[in-house]
Amino acid sequence: MKVPITSEISGHKAVRDALRKTEIYSSDLQGDADVRDYRQIPLEIDPPRHHLYRAALMPYFVRPAVEKLIPQFEKMSQDLLSNFFAQEKGEVVSELALPLVMENLGILYNRPQDVSEWIGWGPDVWTAAGPVRNGDVLHGYLDRVYQEAISEPSEDIWSQISQLVIEDKVISPIEFRGIAGVLLAGGRDTVVKLLTGIIWHLGEHPEDIQLLRAQPELIEGAIQELLRFLTPLPAMARTTTPESSTSELPLDRYTQINFISGNFDESVFANPYAVDIKRTRNPHLSFGFGPHTCLGNHVAEIEAKVFLKALLALDIDWKILSQSHIKFYGGQMTSVPDHISALWVAKS
């Protein structure tokens, strides 16, 4: 049975405070119960055990490790952007952002042979088999690469993860599923939304293109501002009753931590409903906060920076076409995209 969200924490300070208090707002839960029966690791485990998995995975995602891959990311961004804008018009999500993010993951995880398969899943792996949510495609892949890693170990990410040792024990197949699933999902949909959103914003605001070309020192801050404004992961559930240690689980245990409310908190961000690429103070919550801060934050930032630099270097402009499919938030946030399922652009 799907557990309902019965309460919500919003506002920058309240969200940060809640994300620190893992003993009250626990990650000890199992989400996506309709498509999986295992924990995403380390996402759905509390400290102190959470720290063991996080420490084991961190070497793959620290900034120095990711920065070594920048030349490969640069070539991939330059090639795909040049090919995309060689057309008079194109659709950004399927023809540019998704392929680029998957190619970058192939580099990061040393699995170039899987890139075509990952692209074939589309923007949401849970609907890779059709419109109804289903985990068979992902789980078939994870089981296959796990067996490959055990029988024919190599230098790729799956072989290395299959041999991780936590508390003197090699991880189990279920733990492998939980870790590998997060590494695929966490570096996928959110970065696709970020790169697509960059194209969308600059197409709607060509004055920012000119500003960034004239003052490239603003690029770092622009990435942080676009992360704030787009908030690729707007919210996440926590439970007030840890699920692994409690036999009777109340239905009202799930609380939504509203990251996007913190990113648009007017007590923290002046004029939050507009993108200000000159914004200096930017304590956004797009990577979360506290012990569960996004493990791949450096990857996303570096990918976006490489992408934006390559985009600006093309020295072309583009416009957003009306056939695009963009869902915006309501209320005060009508200028903020919630979901971009198709973004059609044409050179202008």
8 A C-beta contact, residue 315 and residue 64 = no
Q: Please name the amino acid found at residue 218.
A: L
Least confident residue range of 61-70, 103-112, 119-128, 170-179 = 119-128
Cα-flanking dihedrals φ and ψ of residue 327, to 5°?
Answer: -100, 125
Alpha carbon distance 44, 49 (integer Å): 11
Q: Specify the pLDDT at position 2.
A: 84
> Across-strand partners of 187?
none
**pLDDT > 80? residue 1:** no
Model confidence, pTM: 0.96
Q: Specify the pLDDT at position 245.
A: 86
Burial classification of residue 257, based on how many CB atoms lie within 10 Å of its CB (0-12 exposed, 13-18 middle, 19 or more buried) = buried
Alpha carbon distance 217, 156 (integer Å): 35
- Per 3-state DSSP, the chain is made up of helix, strand and coil in percentages (nearest 5) of 50, 10, 40
Q: What is the largest CA-CA distance in the chain?
A: 61
- For 37, the 3-state DSSP assignment is coil
Give the model's confidence band at 246: pLDDT under 50 very low, under 70 low, under 90 confident, else very high. confident
Q: Which of 173, 129, 162 is nearest to 35 (CA)?
A: 129
Tokens matching residue 233: 């992961």
8 A C-beta contact, residue 54 and residue 295 = yes
Burial classification of residue 17, based on how many CB atoms lie within 10 Å of its CB (0-12 exposed, 13-18 middle, 19 or more buried) = middle
Helix H or strand E encompassing 181: helix 173-186
Q: What is the distance, to the nearest Å, from the Cα of residue 33 to the centroid of all Cα atoms in its chain?
A: 20
214-236: per-residue pLDDT in tens? 999 999 999 999 999 999 999 99
Task: Let me know how long the chain is.
Answer: 348
Q: Which of 138, 120, 111, 110 is nearest to 40 (CA)?
A: 138
Percentage, residues of the chain above pLDDT 70: 100
Alpha carbon distance 204, 226 (integer Å): 13
Task: Give the domains, in start order, of the chain with CATH numbers.
Answer: 5-347 (1.10.630.10)
